[in-house]
Amino acid sequence: MALELFDSKSQELRVFKPLTAGHVEMYVCGPTVQSAPHLGHLRSALVYDVLKRWLEASDYTVTMVRNVTDIDDKVLVNAGVRDWREFAKEVEATFDDAYQKLNILEPTHKPHATEHIEDMVTLVQKLITLGHAYQAEDGSANVFFDTASWANYGELTNQKLENMEGETDASHGRKSPNDFALFKAHKPEEPETAAWKTPWGLARPGWHIECSAMAKHFLGESFDIHGGGLDLRFPHHENELAQSSAAGDRFANFWLHNALVTINGNKMSKSLGNGVSVEDLTKAGSWGAIRYWLLSAQYRSNLDYSESSIRDAQTALDRIVGFLNRTTNTGQVQIDMQHLPAEFKEAMDADLNVPGALAALHERVRAGNTAFDSKDEAKLSECVEQVKAMVHVLGLTFAYQEPLISEELTRQVEDLIQQRHDAKLAKDFARADQIRLELEELGVTLKDMKDVTMWSFNG
């Protein structure tokens, strides 16, 4: 079965085939570092982390770009009297910390908007030359994309320009309320550091031009996948597509959008006062449980949070942890993707049906526990390898990384196990029993199988 992904632009499942054989290029909209991460940010980052992991498990090399918008209206407002650059770095650090704890892999490139002003200027100059952008009619440094000049505007969300709601008025020198800012003129009340010299005067970039410029810088005029949250589909992604296409670029071959996080069935919003912070999540369960819960709905379905969400996820994760702890040398875990079960692969190839993949994982855990209890070593070995491979693809490696076992302790345990084995061969059972007691004092539980001694760390 080939990988199928739901393309938001064509509104259909399509068989995924990269533009370059064996190599996938992805651009994912990262955070605007205006405030601490919330559930929606975590879910979106995790969805594309799982996609990257699955593509790599499917023998693709993946180049992934996830940007950071470090200059924006809200960044300046929320920084207050502080230096907005330091404020942005501090907020970004909270995202990085959450991503790391969630076991989200680092992207290949993590460009910041402020690092690519020249790329944006170049792109905007081209749009002006081609008649798709203009400097503000009031002579300011505002520059706008001329939506009326691009007949395909609205193609991503299947909307007609005349039916779209734009700005409330044609202010700041824009010809039409639907025209969107490519560069914003510097305002006297804004810090001087938040403006750059451009051909049109002192200005800072608009939100949409950033991603088009950075995607082209790292991935060229066309690439395989553009991903982001459903809330970005309009206007952000619609505007990205319009300006890049108008500049002559093919841009993204697939558009993927993950659905939203709801709270007890309601949309999460500040106005409703129902936001859930990262701190709230960690009080409810471990980072492993948070990741498990974020995986528990197919990415195009809304994910609902309630008080029991993380607790239930922790229980499910503990079943996996318990199985691996009783059957696996957690100090030396080696993964072989050849052990992935067919039903797991079929689920992942079906537009990342992670709930189906989790069902396959738990089925193997149950079968493995049964094999362990009945001392069916062949079946147990098969299940252990399959569980390890699935856990790896889903990024649930918390299951055998916590508690962390040092290399020194691993060597000490394995040395004692070998000594015990030698003592038993020499029929020195008193020494063998003594070594078992020493291992128990280290927090190690042994399980003697026919040809091997399995051990787990309980500390």
- pLDDT over 80 (residue 398): no
Closest CA to 236 of 216, 258, 215, 211: 211
Quick one: average pLDDT of 162-172? 66
State the helix-helix crossing angle for 309-327 and 377-393, rounded to 10 degrees.
Answer: 140
Give the model's confidence band at 330: pLDDT under 50 very low, under 70 low, under 90 confident, else very high. low
What proportion of the chain, given as a percentage, has pLDDT over 90? 69
* Average pLDDT of the residues of the chain: 90
For the beta carbon of residue 156, count every other beta carbon within 10 angstroms. Answer: 23
- For residue 72, give every residue at least 6 positions away whose Cβ sits within 8 Å of its Cβ, in sequence order, or none: 32, 34, 207
Report whether 39 contacts 261 (CB < 8 A). yes
CATH number of the domain at 4-258, out of 3.40.50.620, 3.40.1170.10, 3.50.50.60, 3.40.50.261? 3.40.50.620
Strand 180-185 and strand 303-305: the pairing is unpaired
Say if residues 233 and 156 touch (Cβ distance below 8 Å): yes
The model's pTM: 0.84
Q: How distant, in Å, are the alpha carbons of 94, 361, 362 from that of 323?
A: 33, 11, 10
Rounded CA separation 128/131 (Å): 5
pLDDT given at position 167: 57
| Tens of pLDDT, residues 53-66 | 999 999 999 999 99
Structure tokens given for 207: 């939100």
Does the domain made of 263-401 have the CATH classification 1.20.120.640?
yes
> How large is the average pLDDT for residues 126-150?
95
- Contact status, residue 203 vs residue 186, Cβ threshold 8 Å: yes
Is residue 169 pLDDT above 70, yes or no?
Answer: no
Q: Of all helices (H) and strands (E), which one includes residue 136? A: none
pLDDT of residue 403: 43
Q: Are 38 and 2 in contact (CB under 8 A)?
A: no
Give, for 146, the enclosing helix (H) or strand (E). Answer: none
What is each CA distance from 297 to 12, 43, 248, 260, 424, in whole angstroms? 19, 10, 37, 11, 50
Cβ-contact 24, 60 below 8 angstroms: yes
- List the Cα angle 155/156/162 in 5-degree steps: 50
Average pLDDT over residues 451-459: 63
Q: What is the pLDDT of residue 171?
A: 65
| Closest to 47 (Cα-Cα) out of 97, 9, 102, 4 | 102
Cα dihedral sign, 167-169-172-175: positive
Instruction: Please tell me the predicted confidence (pLDDT) of residue 363.
Output: 97
Residue 374 has pLDDT above 70, yes or no: yes
Q: How far is CA 129 from CA 87, 246, 288, 382, in A?
A: 37, 11, 51, 62
Q: Tell me how many helices (H) and strands (E) the chain has.
A: 15, 16
Q: Taking 70 as the threshold, does the pLDDT of residue 170 lie above it?
A: no
8 Å CB contact between 86 and 191 = no
Domain residue spans of the chain: 4-258, 263-401, 407-457
What is the mean predicted confidence (pLDDT) over 227-240? Answer: 96
Q: CB 183: neighbour CB atoms within 10 A?
A: 29
- What per-residue confidence (pLDDT) applies to 166? 64
Q: How confident is the model at residue 165 (pLDDT cuts 50, 70, 90)?
A: confident
